Structure 1
Amino acid sequence: MKIVDARVIVTCPGRNLVTLKIETDEGIYGIGDATLNGRELAVVAYLEEHVAPALIGRDPSSIEDIWQFFYRGAYWRRGPVTMSAIGAVDMALWDIMGKAAGMPLYKLLGGKSRERVMVYGHATGHDIEGCLEEVARHVEQGYRAVRVQCGIPGIASTYGVAKKAGERYEPADSSLPSENVWSTSKYLNHVPKLFQAVRERFGDDLHVLHDVHHRLTPIEAARLGKEVEPYHLFWLEDCVPAENQSAFRMIRQHTTTPLAVGEVFNSIHDCRELIESQSIDYIRATLTHAGGITHVRRIAALAELYHVRTGFHGPTDLSPVCMGAALHFDTWVPNFGIQEHMPHSEETEAVFPHAYRFEDGHFTPGEVPGHGVDIDEAMAAKYPYKRASLPVNRLEDGTLWHW
């Protein structure tokens, strides 16, 4: 079997999604997700100019060698653009091999470690009461785990809060970056009240998660982790920027609240120190942005040695292709923790028919050979690319801050 074509498909059924389709001389094809939110066309150019031409004529079963070729063979290694391109190639090759073998991806990886994959949903509200109503809606839908985010008094807009009740949270909604205002003191003073209210209404059995989105310093994060301990969060996510991996050691010294990080990571080197020092509890790297199944499998294997579990990023800034592949990975990986889930739009579901199913707060990946997600190219062509940018953040005095 040889690769005869590799094409990039860009579509925007609600938001921009990038798909790589690799075709073989035996008529078998595979698809991979190459979406990098807010920088989609940078990955498109990387794939079309540097990757796709070098795939032609290669044996698609040589997954490891092809991964090494595009990683080691590029003098300028790593980075989100490069690793998203490699991730798309890798995902598509695993898809091809699953189809060629007549096996769902999880069997190709080594078989099931569990029967179903627990996911968490997103509940947001402009105030605490609004957020509680959204939590109730998710509980009614069967979710056992919910990420909670609410507006902060005195701050006009807050990360993770939808513009209207019941709507999806879609931050990439303008062609140029909008600017938000942030106050750490107002946030720290208010957000523990949210967790108290959630526990008072829903009790102790619901898994509660929260995303800080890199906005605190280590000592501020330590304070927050300590203050929310009575509400036993499932995790506190991205409490500080992780470029300084040792910062998490300081946080760990002050709190027993579980810590999660890694959705912006793109290699094992971004999290090696965090894992080996046992400074985190969950690693959130994605199959798309961290170089595909081949590389994330290495990250998961390292994490397993240090009691760190997976908790992959999985909102709608990744396509159903990544979700499908992730669910197969989640079904196999021994140190699974939880999987993020945000429902895609009906238009996106139509463009990407898939085999995975949601029931009672869990997903199953399906038994279709490969990762079980396809693309309807005619439908995808109905939704052309639209430039969209993520916001930026400023403190109240105008200082640019972490978004």
Structure 2
Amino acid sequence: MRITALETFPVPPRWLFLKITTDEGVVGWGEPVVEGRAHTVATAVEELSELLVGRDPLAIEDHWQVMTKGGFYRGGPVLSSAVAGIDQALWDIAGKTYGVPVHRLLGGPLRDRVRVYQWIGGDEPSEVAEAAAEQVEAGFTAVKMNASGRMRHIDTPAEVEGVVRRVEAVREVLGDRRDVAVDFHGRFSTAMARRVVPRLEPLLPLFVEEPVLPENTSKVREVTAATSVPVALGERLFSRWDFRDVLGAGIAVAQPDLSHAGGISEVRRIAAMAEAHDVTMAPHCPLGPIALAASLQIAFSTPNFLIQEQSRGIHYNVGSDLLDYLVDPSPFRFEEGRVRAPEAPGLGIEIDEAAVRRAAELGHRWRSPIWRDDDGSFAEW
């Protein structure tokens, strides 16, 4: 069997899908995307295709090594995301070739069901109590919310109290048998994180996410040392080497993204490193159905797994949502906030290629918002 073509599809709301075709008719799908840079990643995929066309798709590890190390300049979000989507598609082909879901190629399932959480509140969180109540009614046992909107480097007591009040309101709705995760989204300076996170301790969040920017990971230990709240990060780290130092800095939860951090091949290695540091896994995935399908293969085969992010109904999904590109949405049926192990071969989903091609004709130009403080200066989104 040989790879004959790689084809990318930018589809709304902000995703990029990849189809890898073989000469024996086995097709694999992946999701290589950097949110806001989909077309840049598509170009990287096209360049990497020169290394793949005519080659055996089942030589997954060799392809990963060549794609990541075959160039003098390596790494970064664009290249790592291009590799990630290709890697997903190659595992999809492997599972279909052998007639098993990918998680069985990774050692088999360790659990029957995986817990997922639902997003509430939007980019600038509001009406979070009402939104949390809706998700409780829908059966979810965990939600995630942004801690704040834009934040100054050292912000006012009112902003600090606003974060605490919002989390208090959600905790009151959830009670003590459900969980709330609080995403700081890299909007807080280290000083503000050290001030705010300890204030959340009585509310027992599942974790606080990305309390410092990825370029400030040397400061992570200052935050973890200041609080008993579990600290999570990793959506903007792209390899096991990026995770190497933070895993020993006291974080509790690693959050590599299957569409950014080198795909299934690399995330399984990050998971093994995390386990050796007593760190659990909650893969980042506010993306599309292929990314989620790949994430679930890791979730079911990883011993130190905690919970899975998913994007159904997330505030970014305007006009298109998680299930819109699937022939059969049943693999993502959530029951009591959990999803069962996929049993179909490969990634366990069937992409509606006709729907993908129609959507790609429309395409998208999604970009990250540009935020500014009231003095006109740039603010982290």
Q: TM-score, length-normalised on structure 2?
A: 0.92
Residue from 56, 59, 68 that aligns with 1:59: 56
Report SS of the residue matched to 1:297: helix
The question of 1:95 aligning with 2:92 is answered: yes
Residue from 191, 207, 210 that aligns with 1:235: 207
The question of 1:9 aligning with 2:9 is answered: yes
Residue from 335, 351, 354 that aligns with 2:304: 335
Identical-pair percentage? 36
User: 1:31 is matched with which residue?
Assistant: 29
- How many residue pairs match? The answer is 371
Deviation at 1:134, TM superposition (A): 0.6
Distance 1:9 1:246, change over 3 A: same
User: 1:399 is matched with which residue?
Assistant: 377
Cα displacement string for residues 143-168 of structure 1 (whole angstroms, at most 9, x for unaligned residues): 11111347x6xxxxx37xxxxxxxxx
The question of 1:268 aligning with 2:246 is answered: no
> Contact (CA 8 Å) 1:34, 1:43: kept in 2 or not?
yes
Equivalent residue letter for 1:338: I
Deviation at 1:126, TM superposition (A): 10
Deviation at 1:267, TM superposition (A): 1.4
Report SS of the residue matched to 2:334: strand
Distance 2:373 2:81 in 1: 31
Equivalent residue letter for 2:229: T
> Contact (CA 8 Å) 2:109, 2:341: kept in 1 or not?
no
Equivalent residue letter for 2:326: F
Distance 1:313 1:137 in 2: 23
Distance 1:385 1:127, change over 3 A: closer
Distance 2:152 2:248 in 1: 36
The question of 1:386 aligning with 2:355 is answered: no
User: 1:75 is matched with which residue?
Assistant: 72
Equivalent residue letter for 1:320: P
Distance 2:365 2:225 in 1: 43
Deviation at 1:124, TM superposition (A): 1.2
User: 1:249 is matched with which residue?
Assistant: 221
Distance 1:39 1:111 in 2: 35
Deviation at 1:181, TM superposition (A): 8.9
Q: Which consecutive residues of structure 2, in runs of 5 or more, have no partner in the other structure?
A: none
Report SS of the residue matched to 1:132: helix
Deviation at 1:392, TM superposition (A): 1.9
RMSD: 2.2
Distance 1:219 1:276 in 2: 21
Distance 1:118 1:253 in 2: 28
Cα displacement string for residues 158-179 of structure 1 (whole angstroms, at most 9, x for unaligned residues): 37xxxxxxxxxxxxxxxxxxxx
Report SS of the residue matched to 2:247: helix
